[in-house]
Amino acid sequence: MIIGITGLNASGKDVAGEYLMSKGFAHFSCSDVIRDFCRKEGLELIRENLINKGNELREANGNGYLAEVLLGKIRKEKIELATVSSIRHPDEVGELKKAQDFYLLKIETPIEVRYSRVKKRGNERDGVSFEEFQKSEEKERTGSGAGQQLDKVMEMADYTIINDGSIQKLYENINKLLIYAKEKNSHKKETE
């Protein structure tokens, strides 16, 4: 089973991924593929460089390229339980759907909560205003061509979790997803 995780910045994707890892899932990230290329080229690992390099890789190799690389690793290593994060293009979802037991999880969190989380993390966006945060996010949501298209990716979700409560509530909702996916997988096997 492969669970893809999508959502906007600071929605709780990493926390969800870490929880799935505690349940025996191996974690893969489209961003890790991009980071590897940036390191090889000596680029600083800042958000702008990662976005630009990701767009460049999709443009040069096809929009599903990052997911194709990860799916190849998952298959080569014969990993049965995997989670894939940083899915930012619809063609990446299409590539991952080639695995019959792929489910796309969207984590939805109000923007005010996400902005507060970003401020607490103290990363490269720490000093931005709420308006700058919104503007930057809009670029990631509505790109075209090889650019990031998070809105389209999120529309493709098989399962949505609203993450506006406690971490425990998020974990409970992920457990519900796992039950849903297992039931769906067993139904698929019965009809084959």
46, part of any domain:
yes
173, part of any domain:
yes
Which amino acid is present at 176?
A: K
Q: pLDDT-derived band of residue 145, with 50, 70 and 90 as boundaries? A: confident
Distance CA 141, CA 24 (A): 31
For residue 68, give both structure tokens.
């194709």
For residue 6, give both structure tokens.
């999508």
Instruction: Give the pLDDT confidence of 48-90 residue by residue, as tens digits.
Output: 899 899 889 999 999 999 999 999 999 999 999 999 998 988 9
Distance CA 51, CA 130 (A): 20
CATH code of the domain in which 19 resides: 3.40.50.300
Direct distance between the N- and C-terminal alpha carbons of the chain, in angstroms, rounded to an integer:
17
Distance CA 25, CA 27 (A): 6
For residue 2, give both structure tokens.
């492969």
Q: pLDDT-derived band of residue 188, with 50, 70 and 90 as boundaries? A: low
At 192 the pLDDT is 56
At 40 the pLDDT is 95
Distance CA 59, CA 57 (A): 5
* Owning domain of residue 52: 2-182
What three-state secondary structure class fits 106? strand
Instruction: Give the pLDDT confidence of 115-129 residue by residue, as tens digits.
Output: 888 888 776 555 688
190, part of any domain:
no
Exposed / middle / buried, residue 122 (Cβ in 10 Å: 0-12, 13-18, 19+)? exposed
71, part of any domain:
yes
How long is the chain?
Answer: 192
Instruction: Give the pLDDT confidence of 91-119 residue by residue, as tens digits.
Output: 999 999 998 789 999 999 999 998 888 88
What is the tally of structural domains in the chain? 1
Residue 145: which H helix or E strand, with range? none
pTM of the predicted protein model: 0.85
More confident residue, 143 or 121: 121
187, part of any domain:
no
More confident residue, 140 or 43: 43
Instruction: Give the pLDDT confidence of 5-40 residue by residue, as tens digits.
Output: 999 888 999 899 999 999 999 999 998 999 999 999
87, part of any domain:
yes
